[in-house]
Amino acid sequence: MKTNSRFLLAATLGLALAFTFSCSSDDGNNNNDGTSSGSGSSSPSGGGVPFNENSQIYDYKTGVAFTGSGTIEVVRGSSCNDDACKWAAGSVTSGLVNLQLPPTIPSENFKDIFSGESCSAYGDIKVFKPSLIRLTNSDGNSQLVINYKDEQTGQVIDYWYFSKAGNITCDNKGSNRTMTINATAGWNTIYRVTDRTSETLLQKYSTNNILTKAVKWEIAPLD
């Protein structure tokens, strides 16, 4: 595949499982009910700042390069320690990430966040959004995020697993989010940009690279 809980960065992993978008969708023909054998999405389109996911981790407070090692998991709930809600997703060696997202996610972990009163046109497209990416080593558990933040903008990369392919568009009626997603079945790289100068902190989600800043892996402890 080529392509932030208790501190501010946790929000960047998209813990909310309900959107209040006004939406429309055009489903694709690739429907494997979440059993795609692919380990992730291909390199996305868009002219944003590129990111190498297999790169150095930095401390989210100090900015100092992390030099430890450990195993990476994608986790359904922040307190999960059961094999039914966590999946191996690669490793870290001397501070360098080797991300290997699991090839499949069981369908019982999918959420229907694209339907409902304000977003009823999504058919049966469902998604698994990890609560966090967790690093486990001799020091315990830590959270990994892909992040950039300053006074003007917050920019994040998330990984979402879709049950099937489809084009997803949502405007910001009744919410502070917009979404333009051309999903493939399986893992997709989701680029999220927040306008921190706007009154509503408008967030834009896209499978196109809309980053204007260089993001990086950051690590923070989990209590």
For the chain, residues with pLDDT lower than 70 are 1-46, 115-123, 172-174, 223
Q: What is the pLDDT of residue 173?
A: 63
Instruction: For the chain, give percent helix, strand, coil, nearest 5.
Output: 5, 45, 50
Q: What is the pTM of this model?
A: 0.79
Q: What is the pLDDT of residue 86?
A: 93
Q: What is the pLDDT of residue 15?
A: 33
User: What 3-state DSSP class applies to 10?
Assistant: helix
Q: What is the pLDDT of residue 190?
A: 96
Q: What is the pLDDT of residue 39?
A: 40
Q: What is the pLDDT of residue 139?
A: 83
Q: What is the pLDDT of residue 105?
A: 96
Alpha helices, H only, the chain: none
